[in-house]
Structure 1
Amino acid sequence: MAFSYMPGFGNDFETESLPGALPQGRNSPQRPAYGLYAEQLSGSPFTAPRGTNERSWLYRIRPSVKHTGRFKGASYPHWKTAPNLGDHELALGQYRWNPTPMPSEPTDFIAGIRTMTTAGDALGQSGMAAHVYIANKSMADDHFFNADAEMLIVPQVGRLNFVTEMGVIEMAPGEVCVLPRGLTFKVELVDRQVRGYICENYGAKFTMPDRGPIGANCLANPRDFKTPCAWFEEKETPCRLIVKWCGAFHETMLDHSPLDVVAWHGNYAPYKYDLATFSPVGAILFDHPDPSIFTVLTAPSGEEGTANVDFVIFPPRWLVAENTFRPPWYHRNIMSEFMGLIHGQYDAKEEGFVPGGISLHNMMLAHGPDAPGFEKASTVELKPVKLDHTMAFMFETRFPQMLTRFAAEAPTLQEDYIDCWKDLKKRFNGTVEGDWS
């Protein structure tokens, strides 16, 4: 079983896979049980306020200094880090892509990461990168940690397990998980091939948004976030550890598995969330509200109310607003929106935006419903209707998202995406009624 988790609010959890492995009353006893080593993993400065101070104590077979040897460079050319400027010659625009094809060669999770956009500056710990992942091979003896960012994983096709040093997280489409900065893990495939999305968050950790006037309930509820139970492997065979650090990749060989934490307690841990437990709120009389009401997690910036990254979903929900244009309105936005579709259909783009696809609407570039969507929403009878069998999401950031060469030259790029608005016609004719013929 897993524990409830409230990300970013200091809850402390404890779990052990052997009885008595977790010390009581002290963090670093002179001689921990089972001959284990005590080690702290910190996700915040030591002096951070109590509400944001994040650390966990790990009790492991070997300390992490034994999990690193002499590093050498490693190459993952499709994984880019901000700033990543001048990478292509594609002009500014609104863009949309079809799903990234599954790999034809054996490809594990790390090798299958393809960066679509980067934003901000990883060295300045601000901004993000948006990736897709494709894989058809498990990481049997390879392990990885990311020193640059925490990683929000959004599966779209196939089940997979994130086997971390703090426990195993089983994942399926419709769920998301967050892997903290510096956490060692490997990925095992349950299904033959997998695909999904990743938000690599360089800035402050994801937390739950304040509800404000909404009050104590709805949106994402703390009890639905789950952390794993302690699990370890005592494997004395060659393994490889890959590290992403300041945008570069390094690897070292080990003679044992680094996933050897027998017990842990603290509040710096991986967690997962079932998107079906999100409780949406909306307009129950008129007007379409801002999409911020669908925020599941937010990574704050130094400016109040302006996120480094927001993770927003558009789940099944009832539409009941009267005398209202119900889809998202046409708009230009200071935030940059990277959008994906997990399954179903998105109500503002009924054609061309398919599960596994991507759209990018950068800061101040106009976007909104396509012409068929506008026609339908403008003329349909406004009775209560449920949007069902759908799940779209958005990585939204305060920074412009810069395309990578992979994204700009991908054969999945829809060259005719801009044409989805070409049939929007002039309806102004000088009368109050307008021309709706």
Structure 2
Amino acid sequence: MSDLKYLSGFGSEFSSEDPRRPGALPEGRNTPQRCAYGLYAEQLSGSAFTAPRNDNRRTWFYRIRPSVVHKPFKRLDVAKHLTHNWDEQEPDPNQSRWLPFDLPTTPVDFVSGLHTVCGAGDPRARNGLAIHVYLCNKSMERSAFYSSDGDLLIVPQQGTLRITTEFGIMEVAPNEIAVVQLGMRFAVTVDGPSRGYILEVFDGHFKLPDLGPIGANGLANPRDFLTPVAKYHDEDNIDFTIISKYQGALFAAQQRHSPFDVVAWHGNYVPYKYNLANFMVINSVSFDHCDPSIFTVLTCPSTKPGVAIADFVIFPPRWSVQEDTFRPPYYHRNCMSEFMGLILGAYEAKEGGFVPGGASLHSAMTPHGPDAPSFRAASRAELSPQKIAVGTQAFMFESSLSMAITKWGAETCKKLDAKYHECWQALPKLFSDKINV
């Protein structure tokens, strides 16, 4: 659409002003005594003031009214299945798989349609994560939402989202992602039934993974991350609701103007989107199966080197070239927790059951791998170069934390597949006294 323009990059310093008000960005100082056009200066900080320069995140807004102009927050009883109570269910180490989550049959907007599937940690201690799905069919009306708990990585599976932020507007379609960081206010417009996944991290922020021996090029390139440009709304004498997610609960405050009244801004703390089709895949050209870390798009590091609070990993269409190697993912037990979703197509290691709009969770040290039909086919397949995962996009939220499933995820949604374990039961004993079987 004509009002969707982007500044590209990742982690850089950006600036933008609405062309209707040239000169709104001050020169030489962040807080002039009098801002142009009678605007207010306001800083949004995403890191401690004294964070090292490379880690310091902040943006300056030049807006019609400061965001402090609102009535007191009061508890809001919507999104009844949004929770950070990881103790409401008994621990369950079993492999879990969900059939596609149901879309609503009555009007539900993005916030009311938030459902927490699993997670770990505590936003009050700024440590942990939560995995949600959104299930909605109605646009947000004169309301805006923000999380005081963590960054939101949004993965649409069905339906395009038009996300209006304080910085401008992003349209995010299936096979694209958006990240709206801690404290950023936004509203979601949908065009019909919409479903997707959200990874919320309470620690720090997402960043690009280090490339190490891969070198300068590969995986997600910084220039492909897109940031909106300023587009202000000057709306007065209206009833507008600001919804805050705070310590896992929702609160609402009323105000009489639009929060999307930013005329200009500059900084390095911004929302952004990324098209997964731009991911530059690194893959094996000899033998063995590379670890899924080569498919990492974004990571939220922990304080322990090499260990992530969460990695966002994708399994895109790619050429697969191996010699005398089992091509699908190997059977595996992992100290990490692996939550997988499917945006479109059919995942290579599961013949059925794992379908778009559904999900799976393989918890720490719980074994998993290809089902019986996939193993049988891959063991005898010709190993010529092959384009795999064509028309497919699977992803994984991987975490070093041991995640618990919520009551909604385990019971209320009624989508947990009780027969998931059966996909491995037909794996036969192939042991023989002959060296070649």
Provide the TM-score with structure 2 as the length reference.
0.96
State whether structure 2 residue 206 is matched by structure 1 residue 203: no
SS of match in other structure, 1:378: helix
Amino acid at match of 2:353: G
Q: Partner of 2:229 in structure 1?
A: 229
State whether structure 2 residue 145 is matched by structure 1 residue 144: yes
Amino acid at match of 1:217: N
Alpha-carbon displacement from aligned partner over 1:103-141 (angstroms, at most 9, x marks no partner): 011100000011100112221212211111111111111
SS of match in other structure, 2:303: coil
Q: Partner of 2:241 in structure 1?
A: 240
State the alpha-carbon separation in 1 of the partners of residues 91 and 128 from structure 2.
22
Q: Which of 47, 65, 68 lines up with 1:65 in the alignment?
A: 68
Q: Partner of 2:394 in structure 1?
A: 392
Q: Which of 6, 9, 18 lines up with 1:2 in the alignment?
A: 6
Q: Partner of 1:14 in structure 2?
A: 15
Contact kept, 8 Å, 1:127 with 1:397, in 2: the verdict is no
State the alpha-carbon separation in 2 of the partners of residues 47 and 90 from structure 1.
39
Alpha-carbon displacement from aligned partner over 1:168-187 (angstroms, at most 9, x marks no partner): 01110010010010001111
Contact kept, 8 Å, 2:149 with 2:247, in 1: the verdict is yes
Q: Partner of 1:278 in structure 2?
A: 279
Alpha-carbon displacement from aligned partner over 1:72-126 (angstroms, at most 9, x marks no partner): 1112321112xx2331357431010111111011100000011100112221212
Contact kept, 8 Å, 1:175 with 1:272, in 2: the verdict is yes
Q: Partner of 1:39 in structure 2?
A: 42
Contact kept, 8 Å, 1:204 with 1:308, in 2: the verdict is no
State the alpha-carbon separation in 1 of the partners of residues 387 and 92 from structure 2.
39
Q: Partner of 2:173 in structure 1?
A: 172
Contact kept, 8 Å, 2:91 with 2:404, in 1: the verdict is no
How many residues are matched?
A: 427
Q: Following TM superposition, by how much is the alpha carbon of 1:428 offset from its aligned partner in structure 2, in angstroms?
A: 1.1
SS of match in other structure, 2:341: strand
State the alpha-carbon separation in 1 of the partners of residues 199 and 86 from structure 2.
19
Contact kept, 8 Å, 1:153 with 1:198, in 2: the verdict is yes
SS of match in other structure, 1:213: helix
How does 1:268-417 map onto structure 2 within 5 Å? 268-387=269-388, 388-409=390-411, 410-417=413-420
Amino acid at match of 1:4: S
Alpha-carbon displacement from aligned partner over 1:134-170 (angstroms, at most 9, x marks no partner): 1111111111111000100000000111101111011
Amino acid at match of 1:422: Q
Q: Partner of 1:77 in structure 2?
A: 80
Q: Partner of 1:54 in structure 2?
A: 57
State the alpha-carbon separation in 1 of the partners of residues 385 and 379 from structure 2.
15
State the alpha-carbon separation in 2 of the partners of residues 79 and 188 from structure 1.
20
State whether structure 2 residue 196 is matched by structure 1 residue 192: no
State the alpha-carbon separation in 2 of the partners of residues 96 and 316 from structure 1.
23
Q: Partner of 2:161 in structure 1?
A: 160
State the alpha-carbon separation in 2 of the partners of residues 180 and 86 from structure 1.
27
Amino acid at match of 1:78: H
Amino acid at match of 1:288: H
State the alpha-carbon separation in 2 of the partners of residues 51 and 90 from structure 1.
39
Q: Following TM superposition, by how much is the alpha carbon of 1:24 offset from its aligned partner in structure 2, in angstroms?
A: 1.1
Contact kept, 8 Å, 1:155 with 1:171, in 2: the verdict is yes
Q: Which moved more, 1:114-123 or 1:300-309?
A: 114-123
Contact kept, 8 Å, 2:82 with 2:249, in 1: the verdict is no
State the alpha-carbon separation in 2 of the partners of residues 331 and 308 from structure 1.
20
State the alpha-carbon separation in 2 of the partners of residues 430 and 265 from structure 1.
70
State the alpha-carbon separation in 2 of the partners of residues 357 and 118 from structure 1.
17
State whether structure 2 residue 417 is matched by structure 1 residue 418: no
Q: Following TM superposition, by how much is the alpha carbon of 1:58 offset from its aligned partner in structure 2, in angstroms?
A: 0.3
Amino acid at match of 2:270: A
State the alpha-carbon separation in 1 of the partners of residues 127 and 287 from structure 2.
37
Percent identity at matched positions? 52
State the alpha-carbon separation in 2 of the partners of residues 220 and 250 from structure 1.
36
Contact kept, 8 Å, 1:132 with 1:197, in 2: the verdict is yes
Q: Following TM superposition, by how much is the alpha carbon of 1:430 offset from its aligned partner in structure 2, in angstroms?
A: 3.1
How does 1:95-110 map onto structure 2 within 5 Å? 95-110=96-111
SS of match in other structure, 1:64: coil
Unaligned runs of 5+ in 2: none
Q: Following TM superposition, by how much is the alpha carbon of 1:46 offset from its aligned partner in structure 2, in angstroms?
A: 0.6
Alpha-carbon displacement from aligned partner over 1:335-357 (angstroms, at most 9, x marks no partner): 10000000011101121111111
Q: CA RMSD in A?
A: 1.0
After the TM superposition, list the runs of 4 or more consecutive aligned residues in structure 1 that deviate by more than 4 angstroms. Answer: none
Alpha-carbon displacement from aligned partner over 1:313-372 (angstroms, at most 9, x marks no partner): 000001110100010000000110000000011101121111111000000000000000
Contact kept, 8 Å, 1:338 with 1:360, in 2: the verdict is yes
State whether structure 2 residue 118 is matched by structure 1 residue 133: no
Q: Following TM superposition, by how much is the alpha carbon of 1:63 offset from its aligned partner in structure 2, in angstroms?
A: 0.7
State the alpha-carbon separation in 1 of the partners of residues 367 and 263 from structure 2.
52
Amino acid at match of 1:391: Q
Q: Partner of 1:27 in structure 2?
A: 30
Q: Following TM superposition, by how much is the alpha carbon of 1:5 offset from its aligned partner in structure 2, in angstroms?
A: 2.2
Alpha-carbon displacement from aligned partner over 1:243-289 (angstroms, at most 9, x marks no partner): 11112221111111111111000000000000000000011011100
Q: Partner of 1:263 in structure 2?
A: 264
SS of match in other structure, 1:51: helix
Amino acid at match of 2:403: Q
State the alpha-carbon separation in 1 of the partners of residues 351 and 229 from structure 2.
42
Contact kept, 8 Å, 1:74 with 1:251, in 2: the verdict is yes
SS of match in other structure, 1:293: helix
Alpha-carbon displacement from aligned partner over 1:376-400 (angstroms, at most 9, x marks no partner): 1001111111011110000000001
State the alpha-carbon separation in 1 of the partners of residues 284 and 119 from structure 2.
34
Amino acid at match of 1:186: A
